[in-house]
Amino acid sequence: MEYIRKSIYSLPEIRRTLLPLWSAWALAAIGAVCGVLFFLLPNLSDIASSFLLGGVIVGACCLALVLCFYLFGDSRRPYSREVHATLEPTYAYYSSAQQQAIVAALEAHDESALESIKRQAKPELALVRYSDRNERIFYSQLTRVDGKRYLPLTNIIINKIKQ
């Protein structure tokens, strides 16, 4: 699975999803406002200045959390700039005898032919597809199942569904 995910991330229209950390951003903004007020209003009481200083510390910690997430985090969900949606993986398993039919249907962008191919429970071939919830676009790759590893048989095939 790692191989197709890395391949998808190498495409120019795909980027990693950065989960929204709205609460952390909001607390960081509140901390920045508290910091500005703390330095602009030096004649406040001890309670008010302690409150503002606490807001600065909380805001700085939240900003550090957001920066660490954006620099080191990985949500493992690709985002398509083309359809403005996150892509979720789906898996379909087939017999090895159907490899040519699957590849032909993928290359012809024929979704109905792909759906008509019989699936099986015991995986020999796995069709890994990343698509948005509305299924407007598919990033597909046929892989051979070797134990717990998925070895790619095709490059990533992009199928855009017109609506």
Per-residue model confidence (pLDDT) at position 104: 92
Query: Which one is predicted more confidently, 95 or 57?
Result: 95
**20 has a pLDDT exceeding 70:** no
The string of pLDDT tens digits covering residues 26-60 is 777 888 887 777 777 777 777 777 777 777 888 88
pLDDT (mean) for 92-119:
90
What region does 42 belong to: left with phi over 0, alpha with psi -120 to 50, or beta? Answer: alpha
What are the boundaries of each domain within the chain? 2-14+87-160, 18-72
Residue with tokens 């509305």: 134
Is the four-CA dihedral 117, 122, 124, 128 of positive or negative sign? Answer: positive
**Nearest residue to 25 via CA among 69, 74, 79, 71:** 69
pTM over 0.75: no
pLDDT (mean) for 129-145:
86
Q: Are strands 157-160 and 88-94 parallel, antiparallel or unpaired?
A: unpaired
